Structure 1
């Protein structure tokens, strides 16, 4: 009987931490300025696992893998340009990855996830700010992070000129996290 109870408790514990992101109902996008005009894009393919309980944010974890070849830069020309070596160099490194843990509560349903982004062979710290709201049995996480593209070598050569393309890129996400 003891073993059955221990197995039930272990199963309940795993179920509480294993949360999947419904990518069909989620979105991962970005905004940057080109010659002071906001340009929006998105990644059509990504995977994510999230373990988050608003009552215990310090136990929070996230692992997001982004298919750089799935980039939609807002036009076919922009999408084709972004996968080239001077931008994402997606042929050499087709994935970007964000891993975070030890989330922090900021109050009012707002949270912060400190993590590391690996892109184009460089891994640097990135802070993600997000909100969490219940949606039936699921949670909806909406948030942003500002990434300085030049720190990752994104936009080499003539594209280093921040008068043409701003250094700051705002990454935006909407994740539906299912139990």
Structure 2
């Protein structure tokens, strides 16, 4: 009987693992953006041009989703080359020493219809801290041209640059400590 129970447990766990679907970020339809207040009067926006993201979920509504994202820090793009080079320097991201930023979720809590609070570890500039992001699952569509199924998400949150020792020589009067993250993305079903 004990042996039979073990076999049933293994079969159940295997079926659960097999039921999980993997989704990959579609770079052509994804933007990883940020905004920060400059001198207390204007918002400077930028984005990262190179990244990779994966979602694993067994539930159709993504209520059990696990999120992972890797961003290439040197791909930072604010539209001003001199500023981008400064942001890559040791004054800020130190992109040569810390070329990657990663996020890996640890929990997802449903807070409304298609709305979630996703908590995970954000690592960059050699520091890992937990952050909580707001995720809005926008639904799924099937591309009529190629049959590919895509899911849409709007992901946002705030990060304190002081938590990551980012630009420590630039006081809040010059750059706000609060950085807004804004990711608008499509993930393709694999």
TM superposition score normalised by structure 2: 0.82
Matched, 1:156 2:168: yes
Structural RMSD (CA) = 2.2
Alpha-carbon deviation of 1:152? 0.2
Q: Is the 8 A contact 1:60 1:101 kept in 2?
A: no
Is structure 2 residue 89 aligned with structure 1 residue 65? no
SS in 2 for 1:150: helix
Q: 1:71 to 1:168 in 2, by over 3 A?
A: same
The residue that corresponds to 1:33 in the other structure is 37
State the shift of 1:108 in Å.
2.4
* 1:32-59 superposed Cα distances (whole Å, 9 cap, x missing partner): 00112111000000011112445452x2
Per the alignment, in what secondary structure is the counterpart of residue 163 of structure 2? helix
Contact 1:18 1:51 in 2 (8 A): yes
- CA distance, structure 2, for counterparts of residue 50 and residue 39 of structure 1: 29
The runs of 5 or more residues in structure 2 that have no matched partner are 1-13, 142-148
Q: 1:151 and 1:177 mapped to 2: Cα distance?
A: 29
Distance 2:62 2:125 in 1: 33
1:173 matched to 2:183? The reply is yes
Counterpart Cα distance in 2 of 1:27 and 1:56:
20
Task: Confirm whether residue 104 of structure 1 aligns to residue 114 of structure 2.
Answer: no
Contact 1:69/1:90 (8 A) holds in 2: yes
Which of 135, 150, 153 aligns to 1:141? It is 153
Match of 1:125 among 117, 123, 130: 130
- Give me the TM-score of the superposition, normalised by structure 1: 0.87
Q: Give 2:54's match in structure 1, choosing from 31, 34, 49.
A: 49
Q: Is the 8 A contact 2:118 2:132 kept in 1?
A: yes
Give 1:14 shift: 3.9
CA distance in 2, matches of 1:97, 1:154: 15
**Match in the other structure for 1:7:** none
Report the count of equivalent residues. 170
CA drift at 1:72? 0.5
Contact 1:39 1:74 in 2 (8 A): no
Cα drift, residue 88 of structure 1 = 0.3
